[in-house]
Amino acid sequence: MSGSISARPAARSRSNVSGSAAITRRFYSFEPLTLVRATQRPPESPTGTVVPIRGMSKYPARVISLSPSRGHGVAMKTFFDSNLARSSRARFLIALVTATAATAAVASQAALATPPARIAPSSMDRVDPRVVKDSTEAQHGDTRVRVIAYGNDAEAALRRSGATGVKKLDLIAGASGLVRADAVNAVLDDSGVSYIASDAPVQLNGASTPALSPVALESELQNLYPEVDGATDAWSSGIDGTGVGIALIDSGVADLPDFKGRLTNVTFDTTIPKDGDAYGHGTFVAGVAGGRTSDARYIGVAPGARLFALDVERDGTVHTSDIITALTWVANNHTNLGIHVVNLSLSESTPSSYRTSALDVAVEAVWRAGVVVVVSAGNLGANQVNFAPANDPFVITVGSSDTNSTSSTTDDVQASWSSYGTTADGFSKPDMLAPGRGIISAVTAGTTLDRIAPAENHVEPGYLRMNGTSTSAPQVAGAVALLLAQRPGLTPDNVKWLLRKTARPVAGAAPALAITAALAFSGDVGTANDGLFASSGLPATLDPARAPSAATWGHTAAEYESIKAWAKAGDAWGKAGELWGPMLFNAAIANHNAAADWMLARQFDRAADFERLAAGNWSRLGSPEGAGIAWELAADAGMRKGDFALAATSFESAARAWTKAGGSDRASASWQRAADAWKRKPDPSRAALAQANVAATWNAAATWNAAATWNAAATWNAAATWNAAATWNAADIWG
């Protein structure tokens, strides 16, 4: 029978919880660029300065002039000659940046030039811009803002400020609580606090044993995914995950016969039932990971694994601190309870860099403790991968494939709504795919999921059909359980390496899970994540390992440029961009410089990589125009390399960025260049899709209407993150 564990309760109380940078593109070319750093204006030039960079006297002069903009950041102008395209050693010219009164762009000290009244200017580098925004927009001083505080005495500091619902978060050396908007300064002034981050809302990404007889299974199974993944081959070999524990951080799991004898419920609030799931999402996910019906019709990937259901859902909402609390429990109990993998079919609802995300700090701590972390990519489509924890490079991020309703893998494609792209930190996500369309699993009658599902998705009493990356991630978590049941000595880095190594290719997308190949692999197992920097959760200005050296790398790059050592200069600028981290303006400029040097080194793939990083920086800075330009430059690098797929996808990203900026003409031009690149690939179908967008797709009424997938109210609803409109889009989830 199932067990039940009650963790230490968290105090809670009900409280009232609560523009963008303009870039004007004048011209760009594969030519030398001179740059100025917004945070490094020479003191002797208070009204403006002309700054030539990198000793590029061989090329026509280009400079950028920096001057104050009436107290609202800086205005940048560029001057150039028009005959730039002739040089064979070309360099990018980035567009112009004008920070205006509408800016106050929500990232880094450069973007926070005009501090809101509630936060002291001297404290701006010690507070998450999202907290600044929440506290500034508060209607009353007693409005509560959800925060996570770092520091050696963070818990006590929050209590001293009068915060409610305070929870200690040992895993990240911090604490969370609800702070009055007019008390944020008091928390910042407390010596026990080094930094305040946002306790962001989190949303679910879906809703997108004895050995089993393979003969019986193939005739009885109602789902395709066990066969497509290769789980049926494992079962026929007697491998079903027995002896391995899977932790499911979700909305809880109902104690159904599908999990009989293998389910342990864990709660963190004594007011919540220990063995229920009022929402239904966690039960569905558990069924995919390790459910098993007595008639063998619905069987998860690892039907012999033990399941630990960690319920983090409260009154229809969940926040980052709730997830961290659950992850802390996993870190503290995994050894005694045999938990080797944790599944998170959820993500934060606001984008972030993995380097400054409290949730990413926590998942990395669990990973280092020896537990494999599997997370869902999200259901937002292209270039939407900056949401923790899916943005973390250490974990296994899982997107959805569409099997086209066949057991053959030859016709599999990436699901149209599955999130994919390059993170702001430069990592390609997802890491792998698993089936995510038409997945059937258990649900309890009367739960939210049961009530909102269309009638046609109720395939029979107690079972629903659903789409989403929430259904894909638990398949990989189950696969990890199968792999560790066979080879218990593997580390998380070994597991990630092996699953990626043996995954099968999917055209134009991340590879797909292939359990049979992973279990059959007989070579030396390598390690993933070599050379990655761990998240500190802190901005560069507060991370002593990063901030001082960023400027040093910039100086080093300039010295390499003076002797035309372009590859070394590009590498140095890349390190500077990485270290600038959340100081997004600095990072964008450094990444662009790196791209320019790699172009001169004729390593066009590296140039494209760094322009993509710059695009992510500009996007997070609130500058879609800057992102559009950077994506175009990345595409041009792809064209120079002859990688027409890279060029085409980058032009498509540029088109989307220009659409957000309101530049329909520029968006149409980028779509046309994408179509041309796909023709040169050649990929006629992708070319046709891009061509179809050239004339009419990019008017605002067509793209952003209420019925569209990207409805802001549906995607970014912070007050009701888990409501039906936000999470259960009928076209995507129930298709």
Nearest 5°: the CA angle 313, 316, 319 is 55
Between the alpha carbon of residue 139 and those of residues 120, 133, 158, 182, the distances in Å are 19, 12, 21, 11
In this structure, are residues 330 and 339 in contact, taking their beta carbons and an 8 Å threshold? Answer: yes
Give catalytic residue positions: 250, 281, 470
Whether the link from the prior residue into 682 is cis, omega within 30° of 0, is yes
Q: Is 562 helix (H, G, I), strand (E, B) or coil?
A: helix
Backbone angles phi, psi at 639, to 5 degrees: -65, -40
What would the two tokens of residue 334 be?
């995994």
Q: Which DSSP string corresponds to 450-478?
A: HHHS-GGGEEETTEEEE-SHHHHHHHHHH
Q: How far apart are CA 133 and CA 350, in angstroms?
A: 13
Q: Count of CB atoms within 10 A of residue 578's CB?
A: 21
Cβ atoms 286, 248 nearer than 8 A = yes
Tokens representing residue 497 in the block: 């390496």
d(CA 594, CA 573): 5
Residue found under tokens 């400027």: 551
Task: Please name the residues in contact with 451: beta carbons below 8 A apart, sequence gap of 6 or more.
Answer: none
Nearest CA to 320 out of 130, 545, 187 is that of: 130
CB atoms inside a 10 Å sphere around CB 416: 14
Strands annotated E in 139-269: 144-150, 164-169, 174-180, 195-198, 202-204, 245-250, 263-267
Give the whole-angstrom CA distance, residue 376 versus residue 343: 8
Give 310's strand partners: 249, 266
335 touches 459 (CB < 8 A):
no
What are the distances in angstroms from CA 713 to CA 43, 698, 705, 729? 45, 20, 11, 12
Dihedral pair phi/psi, residue 414, rounded to 5°: -70, 135
Task: Tally helices (H) and strands (E) across the chain.
Answer: 26, 25
Contact 201, 214 (CB under 8 A): no
Residue 507 contacts by C-beta under 8 Å, 6 or more apart in sequence?
A: 413
**Are the beta carbons of 432 and 512 closer than 8 angstroms?**
yes
